[in-house]
């Protein structure tokens, strides 16, 4: 069938000229549905209500959907320009321009890393309180220590605070220590970032570590995901040498795994 949308030679289409193929039809419907949902989510924050015109069941047509996509593209370009503008602070950190505070690792005796008070205070209320205390009010060579982090981990933490992201290899290596630091120093954006990275890489070799970190950071959603994964792969995990060490170190989590496994068996027996 000739399609007036995806054909490469529309000028020789046979009547009816408005015929479209199934793939283009489904694509158009999906695009309209997506943009309608986005409009529903764009509600009035003060009243928490959406207009009838933007309800999930209303369709504004393909032209309006394309207009919404163009608006989203413009928003993306604006955000990219804003990120480029804000990246100047990252350059100040990398080039050590006008730094006024030192952040010292606490686990390996390494030299401190120079940073900016204003940025640390803006990213974390805990850092703000530390820098506002009597011990950190005088000279620019003042120093704060992060006792739970080594040099590489402090460097990654600062890089994230300045840029909002990290290279993949650094995330893979330090995601657990960064998650703990995010929890301790109350950095929600880093907490969410670490959670997403851990969930995206969840497998049998790291799920016990993930469960342990979720417990330390009181991350209930991450803990539930890890427990569910463990229950589904119980035989593989329980008979591994890794589990022996985990159980000795974390008896309370081992109890939770046992309970979760029991509840899963009970649910399957009851056909739930």
pLDDT value of residue 212: 96
Max mean pLDDT range (41-45, 92-96, 193-197, 262-266): 193-197
- Quick check: 12 pLDDT over 60? no
What average pLDDT does the segment 148-165 reach? 93
According to DSSP, the β-strands at 143-146 and 101-105 are: parallel
Mean pLDDT of the chain: 82
Residues 6+ apart with CB under 8 A from 171: 178, 197
Burial 211-235 (b: 16+ CB within 10 A, else e): bbbbbebebeebbebbbebbbeebe
Of residues 49 and 248, more confidently modeled: 248
Given a cut of 90, is residue 23 above it in pLDDT? no
Of 217 and 5, the structure prediction assigns the larger pLDDT to 217
Lowest mean pLDDT among 8-12, 24-28, 251-255: 8-12
């Amino acid at each position: 069938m000739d399609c007036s949308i995806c054909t490469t030679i529309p000028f020789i289409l046979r009547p009816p000229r408005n015929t479209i193929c199934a793939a283009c039809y489904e694509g158009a419907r999906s695009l309209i549905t997506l943009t309608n949902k986005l409009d529903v989510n764009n509600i009035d924050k003060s009243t928490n209500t959406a207009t009838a015109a933007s309800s999930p069941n209303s369709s504004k047509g393909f032209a309006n959907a394309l207009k919404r996509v163009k608006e989203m593209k413009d928003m993306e370009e604006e955000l990219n320009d804003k990120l480029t503008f804000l990246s100047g602070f990252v350059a100040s950190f990398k080039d050590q321009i006008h730094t006024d505070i030192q952040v010292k690792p606490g686990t390996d005796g390494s030299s401190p890393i120079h940073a900016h008070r204003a940025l640390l205070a803006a990213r974390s209320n805990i850092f703000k309180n530390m820098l506002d205390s009597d011990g950190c009010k005088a000279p620019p060579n003042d120093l704060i220590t992060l006792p739970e982090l080594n040099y590489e981990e402090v460097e990654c933490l600062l890089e994230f605070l300045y840029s909002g992201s990290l290279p993949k290899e650094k995330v893979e290596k330090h995601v657990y220590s960064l998650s703990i630091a995010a929890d301790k120093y109350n950095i929600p954006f880093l907490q969410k970032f670490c959670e997403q990275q851990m969930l995206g890489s969840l497998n049998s070799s790291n799920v016990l570590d993930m469960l342990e970190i979720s417990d330390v950071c009181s991350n209930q959603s991450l803990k539930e995901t890890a427990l569910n994964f463990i229950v589904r792969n119980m035989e593989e995990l329980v008979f591994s040498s890794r589990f022996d060490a985990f159980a000795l170190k974390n008896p309370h989590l081992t109890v939770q795994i046992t309970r979760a496994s029991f509840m899963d068996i009970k649910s399957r027996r009851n056909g739930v």
